[in-house]
Structure 1
Amino acid sequence: MRGVSGRYGVARSATAVLAIIAAFVMTGCGASTSSSVGISDEGWPGIHADARNSDTSSVTGSRSIELKWSRPIGGPVAAYASIASTGQLFVTTKTENGCNLFSYEMDSGRMRFCNRLNPGVVASTPIVDAAVNTYVGDSGGMSSFNDHGQPRWRTQVFGTPISAQFTHDGNVLSVSQLGQVNVMERQTGKRVTSPFELLGHPDYLANPNLVPPPDDQGLQECFAGTAGCPVANTPALDVDSGRFFVTLWRPGAPNASLIALKYSGGDDPKVTYEWNADILEGGSATSPNLSADGSTVYVSDNVNKLLAVDAATGAVKWTYDLGFTPLGSASVSADGLIIPAGGRDGHLLAVRDKGDHAEKVWERTELVQLGVPAQTAGSTGYTVVSKGRGENADLTMLTFDTETGATVDEDPLPGAKGITVGTSIGPKGEVLTPTLIGELFVFA
């Protein structure tokens, strides 16, 4: 997910990109469920498509796409676009003034609405329900809007929610970068559980002179998953069991952890702690992914390892050396095909979970992966790559066969430079990607 110019050029380019992200964030910054709770699994309703963060779509992907439209957003973009079942799409950005939450029509690219929220919204992808209501975090709060952008509610939180998830009973689960877990009613924003503090919470009654940390503290480090951002990634949620997983770097700890918690729902809803695994060397820039059966959590650390973890116990099942550190989450198919995102000197490859080890299925070392992959039905995948090297290399949307890695289509992103920050699939198989510098490309 980084421009490169040889091995040492990669490091310089990655450092430059992270510096850009740090600058703009610091200054600004579901799985199938019952329709009875108003959640749709059509479109791309969350940052990683569904509750398990699969980065996959049930739509049969086209093997011959072309650019439909593109447009500048008005500022840098750090997170995926989300897409309602109607095709209405949503994206956040960083701007000094004016709007930083945008919605567009898929077919035309016409703006539906734009709103101004607190600057931390750049770190959050809106999630969208079946009624095309959106839910998005910003510095100090979680807000909901209808499909016209009119406000429905706002609930104050501690920190900035890093994208959210829908629970099995239709509530909104958010975790802020400062470690506060909240579950809120979708219709009113009212909390259904007490806030759960992963890092504890200062006692201002006992220590009245304590100064609360700013709600955007550490956001500049969340993209790379380093120590200054305690919770850098979106939780993965098992909608059947209520168990969910977050990455957490405790202050002063040598490494980050993978944490399991559980939301009970029911008449006495609560969030409880399950287990902790201190396994993420150097932190993690990837959101956890769940296997389709909920038994395994996949996550990468910042020293090139992809790990498979037992979801019930936290025991590591296997590790796999990718040869690079992903800066973005993997795509995990229902049958266990894992395609990591690019990273520092990252390329395109796929491995398969074989139970007690990972097996490499294919590898494309000649391609510099400058995006994050998405898999669709029909063994078709999409990601942004470059065959050239250097920060000015041209970007291409690659359509590839997920079983073999073979190229089946290539479509340029005209004028695009740098990296892209997510790949989302629309309800009719549209392919969307925003660039870090703030342009949205839509292929159909």
Structure 2
Amino acid sequence: MTKSKFRSKKVFVLIIVAAISVALMWAFFDDTRPHNPKVFGPPAKTEWKPIGARSAGQHSYDIIPEPTTWHAIHVDVSNADSVWGVAAPMFELDWVAEPAYFVGSGPLLDNQGNLYFSANFYHGERVDLVAIDAKTGARRWTLPEIGKMSAGGPIILNDPDNPGAQIIYLAGPEQITAVRQDGSILWKKATGIKIANAEDPDTTKFQNFNYHPATDSLVTATKSGALHAFSRKTGEIVAPAGQLPGAPAISGNRTSIPGFIVNRVDPLMDKAFGKTADGLSLFSSAVNYIYGGGGVITNYFSIDPDSSRIYIAATAPDAEDGTEDGRSEIGAIYSLTLQDNGNGGLEFEVLNRNTFQGGTGSTPALSADGSRVYVSDNEGHVIALDHELNEVWRVDVGEPLVGSITVAPDNNEIYAVTAKDVFQLIDRGDHGTLTWTAELNGFDGYANVDVQSNGLTATVTANGVVVMIGGGKEIIGRTVMLHVGMGLLDRQTGRLRYFTEGREDSLAMSVVAADGSIYVGHSPLRRAVGKAFYPDLTQDVIGGVARFKPVRLDLLARDALCAAGARAVNANTLNQVAEAAAVSTDIRQIAFLITQAESAIEQAVSDSDMPQADANPLRDLLAQSSASLATGDLIESATALTSACAMFD
């Protein structure tokens, strides 16, 4: 797989074309259109409902948290980018915390309302982990940098020895650490990993790490394709290093960012974030990383929580591109197992492999039952594989994909993103169909916005799809990003239910919290290009994390209880024996949605968004539904929730 293709999911598909000609950009500066932004009012109820049995796993949630918010880079170990709760139907930018940090992954949230991010690049204080209060943005504590810092951000797991508590794990080339929620160190261990290539020490850089249930271990992967496993309980290494058979990647088209762009953007990024630990400018470092080649793995990997099978997108072995030169120009997806080696230890074993002409630019995303693996390639295809990595179908969306596939547990829905659009597809078993292309019109009426486009991987919630929309100038069909905002799409139609302007561009995820808030990690590479060439049309670039707080909490309560009611009605139609896993998971999700609704009602009364006279009967109905749910009476639970939803008609 080519290096540039591997990372196109991040940003540079936009940047390359956007900066073809400075003269073209300056031609827009005389635009005198009025600034009359579109106003988004309170969104109506969504008509979307789950139909039939959901995809559901058999695993417990003793260690792996329920997918109620972001506990890992793509929500959970299977990287589905899907959460059980609802996002706030209406929201607004609340604050930006820790703006000195360039946040390229995360943030993550624990079950106590704390937010965590790994500070990949920064201006000044150098730390491995920052913990802030998710409601206020106030710093709680930091984990000092020790040796080479982590690359892929933390992962949060439940502590089975202390029910209700969680542990934050962070891995770097030199050390792996477990931290309690109060910032105290549970354990820290030296990894003992030696640099495989002294000329390129970055080959030891962890791209991500994940939890392996069968062995109760934390699995790490390096840029060079080396795999390691560490005990979750102690941090001790539990398996000799494994190695993917892929060869280092090279850039098949030998493309690079033009120097005049780098020369404009580097000083801007240096001012905002300083230089990297290697003394490079952040933008130059990103360009070198993307176009320099040399990596086997440059994205994240997934683990099926039921089978514990590991799925990694990487490069193919050297000779498979037709030339034995120690490099690879095509990609591959691998499935592996971590198992007993017969001598009381563990070892990695490659089970299956599938190669891709043009490579895959996405983290493998798994269905909840582990039966499907979804990837995107760089030629415009969404590809569905079975769990043995046999291709089942592919759909061409007409343009290169730039991010991981989002997998909903309901209605066989999956979501794919390009530099322009967000698509919904349906997995129909032996083929996939494209059902809608999203309406991305949040910046309608903005002066100096000629084009609007997708900004991040989509996030599926119980009441819609959370997206980032970028707005700016159009250069040869691409967007030079000047503005950015967050929106909520309707899952039934792809129409924009709500939108509000944000502060900064992101390479991370659209993170939805348990209270419906939306968080965005600021990593402004695309908007830095816009700022460099349109300095008077957009704000200065900043880092940190932004919170979009819920407003009109009565509507959040409405969407949560209506979603719970629709799910309870559907669950009641299922065969309680044959579809036991689906029904059990439905009950868990309904219980969480009821909790969301109860909290939203309390806050709505406090904010004067809901009169006490309306809140009391809603609370009674939710209490009835919870009591019925606890006894497994889905009929009574559904009846109470349906009545509560009808109160908003």
Q: What is the rounded CA distance, in whole Å, between the counterparts of 1:12 and 1:286 in structure 2?
A: 30
**Which of the numbers 349, 355, 364 marks the counterpart of 1:278?**
355
Shift of 1:181: 1.5
Paired residue total:
405
- Structure 1 residue 220: Cα displacement: 4.9
Q: Give the alignment of 1:343-362 within 5 angstroms.
A: 343=419, 346-362=420-436
Query: 1:381 deviation in Å?
Result: 1.3
Secondary structure of residue in 1 paired with 2:84? strand
- Give the distance between the partners of 1:394 and 1:147, measured in 2 at CA: 35
What does residue range 28-427 of structure 1 map to in structure 2 within 5 Å?
Answer: 33-37=59-63, 39=65, 41-93=67-119, 94-95=121-122, 97-100=124-127, 101-117=129-145, 121=149, 123-130=151-158, 131-151=165-185, 152-156=187-191, 157=193, 159-169=204-214, 170-199=216-245, 220=286, 227-249=293-315, 250=317, 251-264=326-339, 269-279=346-356, 281-312=357-388, 314-335=389-410, 336-343=412-419, 346-364=420-438, 367-378=452-463, 380-389=464-473, 390-414=479-503, 416=504, 418-427=505-514
1:339/1:373 contact within 8 Å kept: yes
Task: Write the distance in 2 (CA, Å) between the matches of 1:307 and 1:222.
Answer: 29
User: Structure 2 vs 1, CA of residues 37 and 270 (structure 1 numbering), >3 Å: closer, same or farther?
Assistant: farther
The CA deviation at 1:293 is: 1.9
- In percent, how many aligned pairs have the same letter? 19
AA aligned to 2:112 is T
- Equivalent position of 2:517 in the other structure: 430
CA deviations over 1:80-116 (Å, ceiling 9, x no partner): 2111122211112212642342111111111111233
Runs of at least 5 residues in structure 1 that lack an aligned partner in the other structure: 14-29, 202-213
Q: Residue type of the partner of 2:205?
A: T
Instruction: Quote the Cα distance in structure 2 between the aligned partners of 1:4 and 1:196.
Output: 33
Change (3 A) 1:264 1:132: same
Q: How far is the alpha carbon of 1:288 from its aligned partner?
A: 0.5
Asked whether the 8 Å contact 1:227–1:283 carries over to 2, the reply is: no
Q: Which residue of 1 aligns with 2:254?
A: none
Give the direction of change, closer, same or farther, for the CA distance of 1:225–1:92 in structure 2 (3 Å limit).
Answer: farther
Instruction: State TM-score, norm by structure 2.
Output: 0.57
Question: Residue 100 of structure 2 aligns to which amino acid in structure 1?
Answer: G
Equivalent of residue 443 in structure 1, options 516, 540, 548: 548
User: What's the offset of the Cα at 1:300?
Assistant: 1.3
**CA 1:35–1:55: 2 relative to 1, 3 Å:** closer
Structure 1 residues 187-237: Cα deviation after superposition (integer angstroms, max 9, x where no partner): 210122222122499xxxxxxxxxxxx9xxxx9589869843211122111
Task: Report the residue type matching 2:125 in the other structure.
Answer: G
Letter of the aligned partner of 1:428 in structure 2? Answer: D
Residues in 2 aligned to 1:96 and 1:166: alpha-carbon distance in whole angstroms:
31
Answer with 1 or 2: which has the greater Rg: 2
Change (3 A) 1:148 1:360: same
**CA-CA distance at 1:244 after TM superposition:** 1.2
Distance 1:352 1:229 in 2: 33
Corresponding position of 1:27: none
Q: Which residue of 1 aligns with 2:18?
A: 9
Alignment partners' CA distance in 1, 2:149 and 2:132:
17
Change (3 A) 1:220 1:412: closer
Structure number with the higher helix fraction is 2
Structure 2 Cα separation of the partners of residues 330 and 434 of structure 1 = 19
Output the TM-score relative to the length of structure 1.
0.81
Tell me the secondary structure at the aligned position of residue 323 of structure 1: coil
Do 2:314 and 2:332's aligned partners in 1 also have CA atoms closer than 8 Å?
yes
Distance 1:80 1:340, change over 3 A: farther
Matched-pair contact (CA < 8 Å) for 2:75–2:82: yes
Query: Structure 1 residues 341, 257: CA separation in 2 closer, same or farther (over 3 Å shift)?
Result: same
> Partners in 2 of 1:168 and 1:56 — Cα distance?
20
Q: When you count strand as a share of all residues, which structure comes out higher?
A: 1
Q: Which amino acid aligns with 2:304?
A: D
